[in-house]
Amino acid sequence: MTVIKNISENNFEQCLKCSVCTVYCPVLAVNPAYPGPKQAGPDGERYRLKDPQFYDEALKYCLNCKRCELACPSGVKIGDIIQLARIKYSKQRPGLREIMLANTDIMGSIATRMAPIVNTSLKLTPVKKVMDGVLGISSHAKFPQYAGERFETWYKKNAAQEQKQYAKQVSYFHGCYANYNYPKLSKDLVKIMNAIGYGVQLLDKEKCCGVALIANMQSAQAKKQGLVNIASIRKAKAEGRVTLTTSTTCTFTMRDEYEHLLGIDNHDVKESIQLATKFIYELIERQGVRLAFRSDYKKRIAYHTPCHMEKLGWAIYSTSLMRMIPGVDFVMLDSQCCGISGTYGFKKENYPYSQKIGEGLFKQIESLKVDLVATDCETCKWQIEMSTTAPVENPISIIADALDVEATKALNSIK
């Protein structure tokens, strides 16, 4: 047998130049200043290897949605190539805006303490004008509201004690949004997990996953935070708990971006980071867990697949769970990017493109006349709420709202 040698291990060289990625790039369709995934990724990489001077700052327009990677028939990690090039070559340094947008932990801690003031002022026209003019944060953007009490605080006061009674335990990485802005989502998860007999524990230490730091040129800080998170998740695993999440972006960042972009070794805990809907679905499928739903829950719900959910390939778990609710009239939206990409759409220069990218999605949502849009990503939620008349919920909240807790406990023999 002849052994074929000399096969390229350089991922960017496996590009056959078929250009299908350019068709799937949501940015290229609306912003001619962006070179597109093929040019910015594998094509540009050859030039950057020749001379770093060929780095093009227009790579900042990449949303990091990874739709190019999904489209690529040759398995080229185009999005990673682009993000790594930004980390390695960009000479732009984060300004005040980038630091504010990216450090969700610090901003969240301050804002939750002064929630009523922050929430009101973020809506005031003069404040918006100052943010627009001075910081370059679009005055059109609506910021998520801050909650008066963080989930962590609530949990320690009201839930920590009773979690111990459950025989089975999971850990929960709530992320910034479900901590500072929307603790209801976290509480909803606790509600569901308790109903099927699982206690929910916080991680030893949880930091922001760092996705916004990576996007805003602060990857060194992202790595520091990532190492803390992975250590906590590793400890939970050692103690027999998987770590559940309710945000696709945090999940994707910790599972894939940590390894590919930040060089964090997470191979031993990757499978231990699970989106809650996937975990629950698999319990139903494999371990006979059952859910009971209220008969008075009646809603027409459309599901939007976040880009990172598309990349994870897990939308099927969230949608299958929602389809189990008898009163749900379920509609699957076309898979397209909403345009927000975390902090991207908040920036003044990106705002018009961000809206244009999401245009098709917004129109489809309006045309379907639904009660609710469901999606697993908080930033998609902001964008859709900002750009349509539809309210948006995480599938976990929808299941929690529709759940008949007592009946579920009975079905699963939980006292």
Partner 1 sequence: MTDETIKQYDVIVIGGGITGAGTARDCAMRGLKTLLVERYDLTTGATGRNHGLLHSGARYAVTDHESAEECISENMILRSIARHCVEETDGLFITLPEDDLAYQATFIESCLRAGIKAEAIDPAEARILEPAVNKDLIGAVKVPDGAVDPFRLTMANVYDARMHGADVLTYHEVVGMEKDGDRVVGVKLLNHHNHQTKIVHAAITINAAGIWGQKIVQMAGAQIGMFPAKGALLVFGHRVNNVVINRCRKPANADILVPGDTVCVIGTTSDRVPFDTVDDMRVTPEEVDVLLREGEKLAPCLATTRILRAYAGVRPLVAADNDPSGRNISRGIVCLDHEERDGIPGFITITGGKLMTYRLMAEWATDMACRKLGIDKKCATATTPLYGSELKAGETRGKKTYSIGEKVAFRAAEGRHGTLSKDVPKADIYDNALVCECEQVTVGEVKYAIENLNVHNMLNLRRRTRVAMGTCQGELCMCRAAGILAKSEGNAAKAQVDLVEFVNERWHGMYPVGWADTLCEGQFTSMIYEGLCGLNVFDKK
* H-run or E-run covering 198: strand 198-202
Q: Which of 31, 34, 41, 45 binds partner 1 (CB under 8 A)?
A: 45
Please identify, among the stretches 42-50, 105-113, 133-141, 375-383, the one whose residues bind partner 1 according to the rule CB under 8 A.
42-50
Distances (CA, A) of 388 to 58, 181, 398: 29, 20, 19
Among 1, 50, 161, 164, binds partner 1 (CB under 8 A): 50
Give Cα 379 to chain centroid, integer Å: 7
Of residues 74-93, those binding partner 1 (CB under 8 A): 74
Quick one: 74 or 335, whose CB is closer to partner 1?
74
**Is residue 43 involved in binding partner 1 (CB under 8 A)?**
yes
Q: Rank residues 39 and 163 by Cβ distance to partner 1 and give the closer one.
A: 39
Dihedral sign from CA coordinates of 383, 386, 391, 396? positive
Terminal-residue alpha carbon distance, the chain? 64
Closest CB 251 distance from partner 1, rounded Å: 32
Q: Toward partner 1, which CB reaches closer, 8 or 367?
A: 8
Q: Of 48-56, 94-102, 200-208, 323-331, which part binds partner 1 (CB under 8 A)?
A: 48-56
Contacting partner 1 (CB under 8 A), which of 20, 23, 29, 58? 58
Residues 6+ apart with CB under 8 A from 136: 97, 347, 348, 349
- 26, 41, 42, 183: which one contacts partner 1 (CB under 8 A)? 42
Residues 54, 75, 158, 366: which binds partner 1 (CB under 8 A)?
A: 54
Query: CB of residue 49 vs partner 1: minimum separation in angstroms?
Result: 5
Half-sphere exposure of 156 (CA within 13 A, CB side): 7
Which one-letter DSSP state was computed for residue 145? Answer: P
Residue among 205, 216, 209 nearest 251 (CA):
209
CA distances from 335 to 67, 224, 251, 270 (A): 10, 34, 19, 26
Q: What DSSP element (H or E) covers 361?
A: helix 351-368
- Of residues 3, 53, 125, 126, which one binds partner 1 by CB under 8 A? 53
Question: Which residues of the shown chain bind partner 1 in the complex (CB under 8 A)?
Answer: 4-10, 12-19, 35, 38-39, 42-47, 49-51, 53-54, 56-58, 74
